[in-house]
C-alpha cells in the first residue's frame, strides 16, 4: 500500500507507470501495425491472435485475462523502447 501511494502524485496520476493514459486499443493497434497478426500470434501464443484475429475479439479477451494483457503491455513497452 505504501509503495502504491509513492507512485501517485497529488493529483492521483500514476507518475511512474509508462502505460498511464494509453488505451488498450491503442496498444493493440500499435502492435498489429508493428508485427502483424501472424508475428504477434507467434510472440504471444493466444487464440485471439492466431484464430480469426480481430481488434474487437482481442480487446474482449485481454480485458478479461490479466496474464495475457500483461504480456501484451510488456511487448508494447519493449517495441517502443527498441524503436527509439
Q: CB of 37 within 8 A of CB of 44?
A: no
Instruction: Please say if the pLDDT value at position 7 is more than 50.
Output: no
Burial class, 67, CB count within 10 angstroms (exposed 0-12 / middle 13-18 / buried 19+): exposed
Compute the distance between CA of residue 13 and CA of residue 36 in angstroms, rounded to an integer.
32
Residue-wise pLDDT for 28-82, tens only, equals 999 999 999 999 999 999 999 999 999 999 999 999 999 999 999 999 999 998 8
Band of pLDDT at residue 11, cut at 50, 70 and 90: low
Contact 74, 81 (CB under 8 A): no
More confident residue, 64 or 9: 64
pLDDT over 70 (residue 5) = no
Amino acid at each position: 500500500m505504501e509503495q502504491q501511494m509513492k507512485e501517485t502524485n497529488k493529483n492521483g496520476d500514476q507518475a511512474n507507470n509508462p502505460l498511464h493514459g494509453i488505451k488498450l486499443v491503442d496498444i493493440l493497434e500499435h502492435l498489429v501495425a508493428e508485427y502483424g497478426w501472424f508475428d504477434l500470434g507467434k510472440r504471444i501464443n493466444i487464440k485471439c491472435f492466431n484464430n480469426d484475429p480481430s481488434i474487437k475479439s482481442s480487446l474482449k479477451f485481454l480485458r478479461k485475462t490479466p496474464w495475457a494483457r500483461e504480456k501484451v503491455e510488456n511487448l508494447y513497452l519493449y517495441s517502443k523502447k527498441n524503436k527509439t
